[in-house]
Structure 1
Amino acid sequence: MTATLTERYISATIRSLEPGTRNDIRAELEASIADAIEARVAQGEAAQEAERRVLAELGDPGILAAGYADRPLHLIGPKYYLAWWRLLKLLLWIVPLCVAGAMALGLLVSGQDVGESIVQSLSVGLQVIVHVGFWTTLVFVVLERTGADTGVKWDVDQLPEIPEDGAGRSELTASLVFLGIAAGAVVWDLVRGFFPTGGEPIPILSPGLWPWWIGVLFALIILEAVFAVALFRLRRWTTAMAVLNTVLALAFAAWALILLLRGELVNPEFLSFVAVAGGDGFAAGNAQAAGNGGIFRILAVLLGCGIAAGIGWDIVDGWRKAVRERGTARG
């Protein structure tokens, strides 16, 4: 015997429910569907057409069953969504960057090619992003299904301060002072040096960088100062200013990293002085690290990674401020 549409609908609804509740819900649905069909038939509709319309209005039996079982049909509901999203964003900012950075640092110290190190680090970083997203979401799915309390409570003390991303006078002053100190340090390094040698000063930066490479550095410093003044006069970050900030940051990164990779950034005489001043212990440590290119190579890798990290943050911060300013303007 072929089951009617009503019987098939009720069966589809109750099959995922607890056995102890199925009979009661079956009886409830049979009565309510029969009453609705009878009302439509009384208004002149055919019985079969009335049955189809009543079941269509009830909707997907899976959704109806979830309502009876008080079972959520979403992965993460509003109770846990904000906690999940805030934690996920925090982890995605920290974990992949730290893992990929550590990976790149280890590969470079061990003597791997720069390009190969970057590719492998990016690959590992992408894998970490996938794992962080999956496992963090899985934890909150379990919390959602079990109804556990995360212990996270909101109160008014958590209200954030209103961000002030517009370029103010204090930011301009800090930028100009920093740039002035940087330019003065380059000149001081050549004239007086930063380390006592017991004789003539030994610059840290290679004297061979004068005048052309140092001239490029001073030009970048001047452009940074002009950018800071222009930003102050504009009073806000825009997409164009974020692009200019990115270009200037990448130009400085190219200047520093190209010279560092070519071994022309640091004065060889200064490195020799450090090696001699370090004594036997330093020499022994350098010999133990010879398989990785020596202590100076390790320090160069650390310096390069530090420069890249600082430039990366400068670029990201500029775009973050530009996006926030644009959102504020639209609001």
Structure 2
Amino acid sequence: MTTTATLTERYISATIRSLTPEVQDDVRAELEGSIADAIDARLEQGESRDDAERAVLTELGDPGILAAGYADRPLHLIGPKYYLVWWRLLKLLLIIVPICAFGGVMLGQLIDGAPVGEVIGTAVVAALGSIVHVGFWVTLVFFILERTGADTGVRWSVDQLPEPTQNGAGRADAIASVVFLLLGVGAVFWDAFIGFFPTEGAPIAILNPGLWPWGITVFFVLIAAEALLAVVVYANRRWTIGAAVVNTLLAVVFAAWSLALLVRGELLNPEFLRFVFTDNGVTDETMRILTVITGFSLDAFPIWDIVDGWLKTARARRG
């Protein structure tokens, strides 16, 4: 004949079953005593035994939480000791790794000559996969650190306090932008009249001389618009949605214009390509790969400029 276990017996059993055998008896004795005392106190107030027992056990709460307290076992995945280190590292890696995965796979697919749809699909899948892997492995490492009590060696100090920023709208940012753009203009003139590439005879320009005057004029107009945008942002002392939109349009126009010229073979000087590559026995396949890498670079910088502009706008709106 078997007897039905009481609520108290079931509660104590659920509490101690995850504890080590060495402490189970002590915890059982402690719980039996404390539960009995609490029930007796309620009985003296006129409650029935069943109601008193149920109320006492309800107040004690989930036996799993109680057992974790006895075992000094955390019930969180990443606790406060490691949370900020985990979160800062995770955010940094989630910015860097997916972008590198997306760009690297896209570049590889373009070099391999894959169709556009396959290039985009494979790159997106790679980026999403990197997000999953980064989130899982970084969290797993800190989960192990949390459970083993290991020390990451990371210590906060006042030297880590960030300097106040102006969200890319300060005088130094405006000056740097204008100087950088002027250097770009100077590089175009230097390439055309002096040349960057040494030859035994007259210098050979890298850019196609056929771009003069109208193609180069388009480039200079874009440069002037970028410089004007930098001045406007500085005058407003902040990035705005309008500035971010204009910055995006300028970057898209530059990327589309330069990429179209590259694909049509009108961006680089044919004489320069022949002197550097063809005359040295470089194959057509190698030339195709170099063209893909050049086009990828021409798109990468405008994309980063777009992202940077919107990030500065978001920071300015938060501020």
- Give TM-score, length-normalised by structure 2: 0.88
Stretch of structure 1 that moved more, 5-14 or 148-157: 148-157
Distance (Å, rounded) in 2 between the aligned partners of 1:258 and 1:55: 75
Distance (Å, rounded) in 2 between the aligned partners of 1:316 and 1:117: 21
Whichever residue aligns with residue 79 of structure 1, its letter is K
Q: Secondary structure at the match of 1:73?
A: coil
Whichever residue aligns with residue 77 of structure 2, its letter is L
1:83-136: CA deviations, max 9, x gaps?
A: 212222232233333333332222222333344323212211221221121111
Whichever residue aligns with residue 4 of structure 1, its letter is T
Stretch of structure 1 that moved more, 109-118 or 192-201: 192-201
Give 2:94's aligned residue. 92
* Distance verdict in 2 for CA 1:115–1:197, change over 3 Å: farther
Deviation at 1:76, TM superposition (A): 0.8
Give 5+ residue unaligned stretches, structure 1.
Answer: none
Give 5+ residue unaligned stretches, structure 2.
Answer: none
Distance (Å, rounded) in 1 between the aligned partners of 2:178 and 2:168: 17
Deviation at 1:62, TM superposition (A): 0.7
Q: Secondary structure at the match of 1:160?
A: coil
Where do residues 77-156 of structure 1 align in structure 2 (5 Å cutoff)? 77-156=79-158
Deviation at 1:71, TM superposition (A): 0.4
Deviation at 1:15, TM superposition (A): 0.9
* Distance verdict in 2 for CA 1:15–1:275, change over 3 Å: closer
Give 1:11's aligned residue. 13
Give 1:321's aligned residue. 312
Distance (Å, rounded) in 2 between the aligned partners of 1:77 and 1:196: 61
Stretch of structure 1 that moved more, 111-120 or 232-241: 111-120
Match for 2:296 among 300, 305, 322? 305
Whichever residue aligns with residue 78 of structure 1, its letter is P
Distance (Å, rounded) in 2 between the aligned partners of 1:26 and 1:121: 58
Whichever residue aligns with residue 315 of structure 1, its letter is I
- RMSD (Å) for aligned C-alpha atoms: 2.5
* Distance verdict in 2 for CA 1:142–1:275, change over 3 Å: closer
1:156-204: CA deviations, max 9, x gaps?
A: 3333323342422232222223323323444554556544667776543
Distance (Å, rounded) in 1 between the aligned partners of 2:167 and 2:295: 29
Deviation at 1:72, TM superposition (A): 0.4
* Distance verdict in 2 for CA 1:275–1:20, change over 3 Å: closer
Distance (Å, rounded) in 1 between the aligned partners of 2:22 and 2:190: 86
Whichever residue aligns with residue 33 of structure 1, its letter is I
Distance (Å, rounded) in 2 between the aligned partners of 1:73 and 1:243: 46
Q: Secondary structure at the match of 1:94?
A: helix
Match for 2:160 among 158, 161, 175? 158
Distance (Å, rounded) in 2 between the aligned partners of 1:59 and 1:165: 49
Give 1:259's aligned residue. 261
Match for 2:43 among 41, 44, 49? 41
Distance (Å, rounded) in 2 between the aligned partners of 1:17 and 1:196: 78
Whichever residue aligns with residue 243 of structure 1, its letter is V
Distance (Å, rounded) in 2 between the aligned partners of 1:196 and 1:30: 92
Whichever residue aligns with residue 179 of structure 2, its letter is V
Deviation at 1:36, TM superposition (A): 1.4
Distance (Å, rounded) in 2 between the aligned partners of 1:92 and 1:52: 49
Q: Secondary structure at the match of 2:19?
A: coil
Stretch of structure 1 that moved more, 132-141 or 113-122: 113-122
Match for 1:57 among 53, 56, 59? 59
Distance (Å, rounded) in 1 between the aligned partners of 2:242 and 2:59: 54
Runs of 4+ in structure 1 off by over 6 angstroms are 198-201
- When the two structures are aligned, how many residues end up with a matched partner? 317
Alpha-carbon contact 2:93-2:134 (below 8 Å) kept: yes
- Give TM-score, length-normalised by structure 1: 0.85
- Do structure 1's residue 248 and structure 2's residue 250 form an aligned pair? yes
